[in-house]
Structure 1
Amino acid sequence: MSERDARIGVLVVDDHTVVRRGLRAYLEVVDGVDVVAEASDGQEAIDRLARLATEHRLPEVVLMDLVMPRMDGIAAIREIARRHPDVRVVVLTSFGEVERVQTALQAGAAGYLLKDAEPEEVMQAIFAAARGEVHLDAAVTRRLTRQMVSRDVGLSALTPRERDILALVAEGRSNQQIAEQLVISERTARTHVSHVLSKLNLTSRTQAALVAIREGLVPPPGSD
């Protein structure tokens, strides 16, 4: 195996030139890493990868921002996963909201870092991705864990009647329909629904329906 073959190829994708150049300058002095190219947005990243593929120089890892013009990081991750399933994407962004993290991971990201991460952690994430592992920023991991614990506790705190209410909400029943089904007043049904949303830290009936499907209280749409 040649020295080039033993190195991890990396494509750096960020719409800020100073960020790309800074990352490249750091990565180029790290043993075992080879920066093969840069891109300023998701579409350019896809185009670069297509060109590198024809040259048999596909990188093992793409280091990708999320918020970029033309094609954002999430769309690019999905496209990379479709076209180049062996290429792993590590997100490096300023945004660590749980919903954004979950969307990136569902799209196929192999890592998620915030831009205040130490250089050593960036390298850990790159090497982990190259090994087929997932590496998450410590702060991101804490947020995901808190959400999972919060949701689990909330669901377990529901009374049997509230679980019934949640299932009916997931079936698309109105408060009046729920009241008729359970032989209670519409006002009581409305109160139950409000309590369910509050206990699960949700803000809409749609979110409640998704939780009910995830927890197996009702089958997903189209499963019949």
Structure 2
Amino acid sequence: MPQREYVVEPTALGLDGRPRGKGYRIVPSLDPDVSAIERSLSNARFVHYMPVEKRLVRDRKKTDLWKPRRFALLLGYVFVQDVERWADLEETPGVASVVRSMGKPMPIRVDDILLLRTMEAEAALQFDRLVEERAAKARQLTRKRAAKVFPPGSLVEIMKGHGEGRYATTLGPGRKGQLRVLLASLEAEVSVPMDAIQLVADAA
């Protein structure tokens, strides 16, 4: 099997002051940009190419978090170049077999590789658009939340950061999850994070 990356971490101490279990644990530390088969082929010094596309996958523990993951465009296939000994390739961990035609390794036309490159580029553009759409929706939710929690005209106190300890009047949502407020006494408009202010009185 292809080797996977990992790190060794010490375990926490128990009530008796001794390390729990064996004193260490194995934690996967996979490079998201390198699959197990790509790592295996690189270790064996084979020049290879695996067409991929990115998708957003929901995190198993934090279900409200989506992470980008690489997936093979042609599931189960990787292309290699300038192989001197095909037997060595077949013995590489993760390689099931070599695709052959008439008993010989099947060559792939350059035009087909270029087509796959084009498909990769198109998939990358679609992924970028999807990420931007999700980001835009998240910004809309943030602005809606800001307007609901801190309606325009509300009196707030800035608890930290710029203007700490001052009172201000909310003006409306700002950029990047911030809120636009008008500082009392200074009559100056500033933007502050929503978690840096505390509601004192609702808008009249």
Q: Same fold (TM over 0.5)?
A: no
Q: Which has the higher strand share?
A: 2
> Normalization by structure 1: what TM-score?
0.27
Work out which of the two has the higher radius of gyration on C-alpha atoms and give 1 or 2.
Answer: 2
- Greater helix proportion: 1
TM-score using structure 2 length: 0.29
